[in-house]
Amino acid sequence: MIIAIEGKIVKKEPTFLHVKTNSGFTYKVHVSLFCSSEVELGDISLYVTQIIREDANNLYGFKHSSEKKVFDTLVKVNGVGPSTALAVCSTLSPSEFANALTSNSIEAFKKVPGIGPKSAKRILVELSDFSLESDDLGSTNGAVNETIMALESLGFKKDRIKKVLSTCIGSDTSSLIKEALKKLG
């Protein structure tokens, strides 16, 4: 899985870039309008989310990790695909996105092309616990944060994970995951 890309931008359009790497490959990377406005032709380093489907293998690039986190969170919501998630990232900055979630603003999400009232409500309900900041639990402990992300990707809810991790004694990511899975199961 590709998680970052470095190279030269050889072509720039409003919603995608062509990035040529040192190995000679040129990749098409879909970007938000915010990201596109921040980059120029030349050297670039982007955070990347790779989404593989039956008919496509696409890269979605982000200049900032907070924008990548918003995108990755949105594509997990039922009924929200990469195109819609990228439209949200093009319409709302990460801080506006977080503010819209905390204030339960359906109107903010309805500004995004392709999102109506039903989709906006679904996003608000499913992402009610989203935050851009480090969690209170283990804000200085990278192993705890990695464990939370790993368990969330397996489908467990963040509040349940936090409760279980508060009882775990492991110190590294793999031991925390094993211990938490036993308690969650």
Q: Which fold has domain 4-62?
A: OB fold (Dihydrolipoamide Acetyltransferase, E2P) (2.40.50)
Give how far the C-alpha of residue 81 lies from the chain's centroid of Cα atoms, to the nearest Å.
12
Domain segments of the chain as ranges = 4-62, 65-126, 142-184
pLDDT tens-digit profile of 118-176?
999 999 988 877 766 543 333 335 777 788 888 888 888 888 888 888 787 877 888 88
Q: 52 phi and psi, to 5 degrees? A: -110, 125
Contact 76, 84 (CB under 8 A): no
Q: Say whether 142-184 and 65-126 share the same fold.
A: no
Interval 2-29 mean pLDDT: 94
* Least confident interval from 36-40, 84-88, 98-102, 116-120: 98-102
Q: Domain 142-184 - what CATH class?
A: mainly alpha
pTM surpassing 0.75?
A: no
Listed residue (76, 78, 72, 85) closest to 113, CA to CA = 85
Q: Which fold has domain 65-126?
A: DNA polymerase; domain 1 (1.10.150)
Q: What percent of the chain has pLDDT over 90?
A: 53
**Rg (the chain; Cα; Å):** 18
